[in-house]
Structure 1
Amino acid sequence: MSSIPVLDTRPPDGLTPGSVAANKLAKRLKRLTGQAVTDYGMIRDGERIMVCLSGGKDSYTMLEMLLYLQSVAPVTFSITAVNLDQKQPGFPEHVLPEYLDGLGVDYRILERDTYSVVTEKVPSGATMCGLCSRLRRGILYSHAREHGFTRIALGHHRDDIVETMFLNMFHGARMAAMPPKLRSDDGDNVVIRPLAYCSERDIDKYARLQQYPIIPCNLCGSQDNLQRQNIKGMLADWEAQDPGRTERIFRSMTRVAPSQMPDRDLFDFAALD
């Protein structure tokens, strides 16, 4: 059996398990996750949560944060980790079952060969993320509906939300992002993003500190010049020039003033005398 892959085993910024800095990082992630869950009413008593586990740093961290909340929250809810094995060549099928067995977490592995569909349908050199994500979303949403899950938890974090807003602005001419909680287009599922207040920087540090068995994506993750990567680079440059800018952008998205935006659907300017 091949060894469990870990993308980066270096201690993050000198953090070591049990150190004061490591404990502060863990407490910050737990606090921000709990705050987001509370602010957006993500979890009620009796919820059955399907945690989408990709094998990346974000979903591992989300699972751990939700397990922590499950142990301290005043409400009771169940957690089932669900991974979609898309049959990418070389995918280490043993990694997630071994990890989840070690945690004692209820889980399901769904096997669907979406890899062949994507590589067949998408022209060489074109971005595969769009079709891949639609197929993955459809399979996961159907599984949640068929098995009675009341919440679908996704590992998107604060930076993902900000990046999505700029993607939509620059390439779709609209201001839209990823809400921390939404009803899916099919109307049957409620999606939650418990890490909505957490920064990617903190999640990356925590994942390396915890030595999660990261499974890299060899499909979309191997493609260069993706628009999201361009946006990510832009935000990283801004953050280097002006630390805290990404956080301020995110906070501005939670404090929208409709009358100060030129959207006639948000504010009735014609009736203003």
Structure 2
Amino acid sequence: MKNILQKLLSKSRKAIQDFNLIQDGDKIAVGLSGGKDSMALLHILKSYQRFSPEKFELIAICLQMGGVDNSSLHELCKELDVELHEIPTDIKEVVFDIRKEKNPCSLCAKMRRGALNDHAVRLGCNKVALGHHKDDALETLLMSMFYEGRVSSFSPKSYLDRTGITVIRPMIYVEEYMIIKAAEEMNFKIVKNPCPADGNTKRQYIKELIVRMQDEMPDFKKNIFIALNNPEQAFLWDKEKISKVK
């Protein structure tokens, strides 16, 4: 096993244990987009499956957004001995041609999540694994605060009542630079993102802002992540509680 993959696996294994992400008998669908994050996640979970104390099944689901060559994903899944299901969708047409969204990311993400979860259910899965990492969590927290006035980020594990699917994020302790290094050293065949909005989003702005803040304050990311993991220490203005203070 590549040394960098061992490091990714170590951090992911800690997240799996800390948040009880995988149990015996699970059938897990990895959302395989063709980007570095989902490819790294597939490698991690396949490696973890080999020595995991929990016995679980692993498949991959790729959403075909229209005109994308996903042959490299089929090659990867064949190499790892993971069953791949490529699902055709009309998401691109709905978001850009029919709805003509000026800010397409939210609707596109919602539709992709819905399609992924629905097909995971049809394939007999009880869990969906997503490739979100530590930096994604920090970016989501800051986006929620700056653009929505909420202190919120995604959870390492979420249960979806509508589908009965549990969404897990095993790479929540993995920093993005490690994934980039893995993609380079392991020669990931990245599928180019066909999205017209790619690289021109609020998330990209927040990502660049975090880089600038990290340069000015070396503990910036570390402290934000500590705050995210210690919700009981957060002081939020609860009008009812504060009004009763003597």
Counterpart secondary structure, 2:128:
strand
1:247 and 2:222 are equivalent in the alignment: yes
Which position in structure 1 is the counterpart of 2:194?
218
Distance 1:258 1:29, change over 3 A: same
1:200 and 2:176 are equivalent in the alignment: yes
Q: Are the aligned partners of 1:49 and 1:151 in contact in 2 as well (CA < 8 Å)?
A: yes
Which position in structure 2 is the counterpart of 1:167?
143
Paired residue type of 1:116: E
How far does residue 270 in structure 1 lie from its aligned partner after superposition? 4.5
How far does residue 109 in structure 1 lie from its aligned partner after superposition? 0.9
How far does residue 95 in structure 1 lie from its aligned partner after superposition? 2.0
* In 2, Cα distance between equivalents of 1:43 and 1:233: 33
How far does residue 61 in structure 1 lie from its aligned partner after superposition? 0.4
How far does residue 251 in structure 1 lie from its aligned partner after superposition? 1.8
1:231 and 2:206 are equivalent in the alignment: yes
Q: Are the aligned partners of 2:121 and 2:163 in contact in 1 as well (CA < 8 Å)?
A: no
Which position in structure 1 is the counterpart of 2:120?
144
Alignment deviations for residues 24-67 of structure 1 (CA, whole Å, 9 cap, x no partner): x3332111100001101100111100111000000000011111
Counterpart secondary structure, 2:30:
strand
Q: Structure 2 stretches of 5 or more lacking a match?
A: none
How far does residue 188 in structure 1 lie from its aligned partner after superposition? 1.7
Paired residue type of 2:117: Y
Task: List 4+ stretches of structure 1 deviating above 6 A.
Answer: none
Paired residue type of 2:214: E
Which position in structure 1 is the counterpart of 2:44?
65
* In 2, Cα distance between equivalents of 1:68 and 1:264: 49
1:50 and 2:33 are equivalent in the alignment: no
Alignment deviations for residues 119-145 of structure 1 (CA, whole Å, 9 cap, x no partner): 123437x22212211111111111122
- Map residues 182-201 of structure 1 onto 2, 5 A cutoff: 182-184=158-160, 186=162, 188-201=164-177
Counterpart secondary structure, 1:62:
helix
Alignment deviations for residues 81-131 of structure 1 (CA, whole Å, 9 cap, x no partner): 1101111x3x1132211221122211211111221111123437x222122
> TM-score under structure 1 normalisation?
0.83
Alignment deviations for residues 212-259 of structure 1 (CA, whole Å, 9 cap, x no partner): 1101212155352x1111100000112223334213211211112357
Distance 1:221 1:70, change over 3 A: farther
Cα RMSD after superposing both structures? 2.0
Alignment deviations for residues 128-166 of structure 1 (CA, whole Å, 9 cap, x no partner): 212211111111111122232111100000111110011
Distance 1:221 1:194, change over 3 A: farther
Paired residue type of 1:249: I
* In 1, Cα distance between equivalents of 2:165 and 2:174: 23
* In 2, Cα distance between equivalents of 1:179 and 1:257: 15
Which position in structure 2 is the counterpart of 1:130?
106
Q: Are the aligned partners of 2:9 and 2:44 in contact in 1 as well (CA < 8 Å)?
A: yes
Q: Are the aligned partners of 2:46 and 2:80 in contact in 1 as well (CA < 8 Å)?
A: no
Which position in structure 1 is the counterpart of 2:238?
263
Q: Are the aligned partners of 1:58 and 1:156 in contact in 2 as well (CA < 8 Å)?
A: yes
Which position in structure 1 is the counterpart of 2:71?
94
Aligned residues between the structures: 246
- Map residues 99-114 of structure 1 onto 2, 5 A cutoff: 99-114=76-91
